């Protein structure tokens, strides 16, 4: 089979990164006009409610998340596959074409799309998988399985992520954020990588990533509690396990309030303890 050509112009992750680089380039060169142009394109195309933004958030969840559990990865891919099928493919392609046209008109630079990216292969893999999920007849189940395995391997790679207590956005007060993270660290000693990823995605207001992570982790917690219930003989402990199971069912993965996040952190920590002791 011939090697499949990847069109980087239709890759939402690459497009966003190239624009982000233009912003950085303008800041480094003290060229506010260049930065402003790139920011304007991002603001006009990655708008709230757009299919393009939803695609990017899903893409970002698969490219920036670190997961060390095969079970969580399996659940994460399953949720991502379901989410990718909810997009209007025709509208997505229209929005991508409008974005490309805006880039060409604004920069008029033939080399814009030829910029070398160290993340090119990873981005190409993720975008190909998203496309394959939407068009399985074109790619075939064997190719889909191959790319799912590739993305699974990417999810297992450690990412260079800023510490949460130094994370800042224009919408989050740094002091409130610091207190929030200190509260979690004090209660759970040290946040696990999955817990950090969840808090990180909430602070980024990345709904797609948050829903994927919460759904995958809650599924893992349920399996841990079910396994304990099946292996435990103490009636007293079994009653406690039933109470925990009830709490798990009451958690809404779509609720990112601090109260609900506290419940999630507690159950996630409990699951880790069960796994370690098991």
Secondary structure in 3-state letters for 126-146: HHHHHHHHHCHHHHCHHHHHH
Neighbours of 127 (CB within 10 A): 24
* Helix axes of 51-64 and 12-28: crossing angle, nearest 10 degrees: 80
Q: Which tokens in the block code for residue 249?
A: 């069912």
Q: What is the pTM of this model?
A: 0.59
Segment 208-251, tens digit of pLDDT:
777 777 777 777 777 777 776 676 666 666 666 677 677 777 77
**Res 200: pLDDT:** 66
Domain boundaries, the chain: 8-155, 164-277
Report which of residues 93 and 251 the model is more confident about: 93
């Amino acid at each position: 089979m011939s090697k499949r050509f990847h069109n980087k112009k239709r890759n939402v992750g690459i497009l966003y990164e190239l624009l982000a680089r233009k912003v950085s380039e303008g800041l480094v060169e003290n060229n506010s006009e260049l930065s402003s142009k790139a920011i304007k394109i991002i603001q006009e195309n990655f708008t709230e409610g757009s299919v393009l933004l939803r695609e990017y958030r899903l893409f970002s969840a698969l490219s920036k998340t670190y997961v060390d559990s095969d079970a969580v990865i399996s659940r994460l891919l399953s949720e991502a596959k379901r989410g990718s099928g909810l997009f209007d493919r025709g509208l997505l392609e229209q929005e991508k074409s409008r974005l490309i046209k805006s880039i060409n008109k604004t920069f008029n630079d033939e080399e814009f799309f030829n910029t070398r990216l160290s993340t090119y292969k990873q981005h190409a893999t993720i975008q190909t998988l998203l496309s394959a999920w939407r068009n399985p007849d074109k790619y075939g189940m064997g190719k889909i399985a191959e790319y799912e395995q590739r993305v699974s391997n990417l999810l297992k790679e450690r990412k260079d992520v800023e510490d949460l207590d130094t994370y800042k956005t224009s919408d989050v007060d740094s002091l409130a954020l610091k207190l929030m993270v200190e509260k979690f660290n004090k209660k759970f000693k040290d946040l696990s990588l999955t817990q950090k990823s969840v808090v990180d995605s909430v602070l980024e207001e990345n709904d797609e990533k948050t829903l994927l992570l919460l759904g995958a982790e809650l599924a893992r917690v349920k399996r841990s509690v079910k396994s304990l219930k099946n292996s435990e003989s103490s009636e007293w402990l079994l009653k406690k396990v039933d109470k925990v199971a009830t709490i798990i069912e009451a958690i809404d993965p779509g609720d990112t309030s601090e109260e609900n996040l506290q419940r999630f952190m507690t159950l996630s920590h409990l699951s880790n303890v069960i796994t370690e002791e098991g």
